[in-house]
Structure 1
Amino acid sequence: MHEWGEIDRMAASIVALLKDRQLRETMGEKGCASVRERFDPTNLTRQFMSLLLDAAKKRKASLCIAPPKAPTIDRLMHLSSSAFSLLRALQYEQIKGIKLSGKTLDVGGGQYNTYYDLLNIDGDIESVNIDEKYKPTIIADLNNPLSVSSETYDNVLCFNTLEHIYKDSLAVKEMLRILKSGGTFYITVPFLFKIHGSPHDYHRHTHSWWQALMTDCGIKEYNLVIKPLVWGTCSSAYSFTRFPRLQSIQKKCVMLIDWMLYKCGIAKPSDYMNNALGYFIYGTK
């Protein structure tokens, strides 16, 4: 090797290389060995996998947080015409068509609920509730451990209930305890939504809190999805400023504004992550 600028010495080396066949062969062999060492397929694969693992670790905090659904004109027409609140309409949009096979427990439900019509039920549904007027299968306070054997149910539902349970962490742990290994769970909770006692209203947790709780309960992040339920910033703000006499037209107007902001490229679904009306949490044990 020569220093930069040593033109005469470089030229002499080239002439010597051209004259000496053995030197050329030796140099070629060493060059091939260097290329094989530096560009070995196995080493390159290992380096690539290492880069992927590093990237995955950096994204670990948001691994299971799904982006909100994009506003579309079809969704606008459907959701804005719903007789329910926007949060409830978004919840029903998510749970529609869920297939429940085997034995299911509806935590906070009763003998019959309107959302059963949205589900594809192939099996039996039982329910647990503290209020006997709903005629649940099991009458129990969810602030206490359930008198149910572990791994009893194939599926567990819990829709709009946990915000009314003071010890909601315990309730979730019990739900997962009585769920079979490989079973599925479906949970909906409000976030940016008015207080509504039934008879009490205790909690509004962020998606980070739910992620931490579920992983603490043993749910792997690759088996967990937390989906923000949101249409747009304006419609989330509207949920706190409704006027009963103008409710229908007001909901349509603010949803239309959010849709226009999206179509014009001013806003995108990922911008709404922190403006969720609620969350749909589901996964596999």
Structure 2
Amino acid sequence: MALNQPQDVSLELPTFTRFLKLFARKMDKSVLRTLEYEKLSHIQIDGKILDFGGGENSKYNHIKEKWMKDNSDYVFHSANIDKNMDPTFIVDVDGKIPCAENTYNHVISLNTFEHIYDVSICLTEINRILEKNGKIIFTVPFIYQVHGHPNDYSRFTPNYWREFLSRHGFNDIKIESLNWGPFSTGASISGCPGPFRALRIKISLLLDVLYFACKYRGQSHISAQQDAPICSASLGYLIIARKSV
């Protein structure tokens, strides 16, 4: 069933405190990846978890260790087409996961769906293995450079994801913009070529802090429709949805 009314996208505004925590030191990750890890580290995930598109060689093991520490019933499995990632399950291009229905409490997937030509097949399979009221938590890029692993197929808007997830048996859909601001988005999508690249990226991040401090004084979070200037050029999105009963 199509969603007739556009719904809001949330955004945590950049601050100087967040800048010092996330970007003041050497930047060994992209702005998008840094924001993804920040958000995931604050999400509570428990029970049986499947990482769709991950594996033991994932770059976010430090976050998995936090989830494990906070969860006595923690079970973490992974599925990937790439055996070099050392996943629990090797899957084919059809995304078939060799486990029973209603197995997992949570499925996470980080920067994976843009590399899959037919995401519909994967979402059907993820819905099958999630338990009643289980959640899918995933990140996808939006205003971001094309990157192959081995291919890069898609960039979709929040309203697309809402309708797409709804049609595949998910509800209670929440979407957060992974976005620091217009200056850093411009630097990220251009690759910021030329000398003093790291310094210029940090300057763009600080300009965003100043811009939002002037425009949204005293606010830490806002919500807006996907075409509002504040959310229309997101680096990516964090999306959480619940399996429909």
TM-score by length of 1: 0.72
1:61 maps to 6
Aligned counterpart in structure 2 of residue 165 of structure 1, from 95, 116, 122:
116
What are structure 2's unaligned runs of at least 5 residues? none
- Tell whether the 8 Å contact from 1:155 to 1:184 is kept in structure 2 after alignment: yes
Cα displacement (A) at 1:134: 1.6
Higher helix share: 1
- Tell whether the 8 Å contact from 1:228 to 1:280 is kept in structure 2 after alignment: yes
- Tell whether the 8 Å contact from 2:79 to 2:97 is kept in structure 1 after alignment: no
| Matched residue SS, 1:276 | coil
Identical amino acids, percent of aligned pairs = 31
2:174 maps to 225
- Tell whether the 8 Å contact from 2:9 to 2:158 is kept in structure 1 after alignment: no
Cα displacement (A) at 1:217: 1.3
Cα displacement (A) at 1:88: 0.4
AA aligned opposite 1:166 = Y
* 2:183 aligned with 1:234: yes
Q: Give the 5 Å matches for 1:1-285.
A: 60-62=5-7, 65-81=8-24, 82-118=27-63, 119-121=66-68, 122=71, 123-220=74-171, 223-241=172-190, 242-243=192-193, 245-265=195-215, 270=224, 271-285=229-243
| Aligned counterparts of 1:170 and 1:133: Cα–Cα separation in 2 | 23
> How many pairs are equivalent?
224
| Aligned counterparts of 2:216 and 2:104: Cα–Cα separation in 1 | 46
| Matched residue SS, 2:238 | strand
Quote the RMSD (CA, aligned, Å).
Answer: 2.2
Which structure is richer in relative contact order (CA contacts within 8 A, separation 6 or more)? Answer: 2
Cα displacement (A) at 1:69: 0.6
| Matched residue SS, 2:204 | helix
Higher strand share: 2
| Aligned counterparts of 2:123 and 2:115: Cα–Cα separation in 1 | 13
Cα displacement (A) at 1:104: 0.9
Cα displacement (A) at 1:219: 1.6
**Bigger Cα displacement from structure 2, 140-149 vs 256-265:** 140-149
| Matched residue SS, 1:181 | strand
What are structure 1's unaligned runs of at least 5 residues? 1-57
AA aligned opposite 1:93 = E
- Tell whether the 8 Å contact from 1:80 to 1:251 is kept in structure 2 after alignment: no
| Aligned counterparts of 1:181 and 1:92: Cα–Cα separation in 2 | 27
The structure that has the greater radius of gyration is 1
| Matched residue SS, 2:230 | helix
Cα displacement (A) at 1:216: 0.8
AA aligned opposite 2:13 = A
Cα displacement (A) at 1:233: 1.1
Cα displacement (A) at 1:112: 4.1
Cα displacement (A) at 1:168: 1.5
TM-score by length of 2: 0.83
Deviations 1:61-103 (A, max 9, x none): 20xx332111211112223234210000111111003333221
**Bigger Cα displacement from structure 2, 193-202 vs 252-261:** 252-261
- Tell whether the 8 Å contact from 2:89 to 2:97 is kept in structure 1 after alignment: no
- Tell whether the 8 Å contact from 2:79 to 2:90 is kept in structure 1 after alignment: yes
- Tell whether the 8 Å contact from 1:155 to 1:183 is kept in structure 2 after alignment: yes
- Tell whether the 8 Å contact from 2:48 to 2:104 is kept in structure 1 after alignment: yes
| Matched residue SS, 1:120 | helix
Q: 1:244 to 1:185 in 2, by over 3 A?
A: farther
Cα displacement (A) at 1:245: 4.8
- Tell whether the 8 Å contact from 1:227 to 1:280 is kept in structure 2 after alignment: yes
1:52 maps to none
Cα displacement (A) at 1:208: 1.0
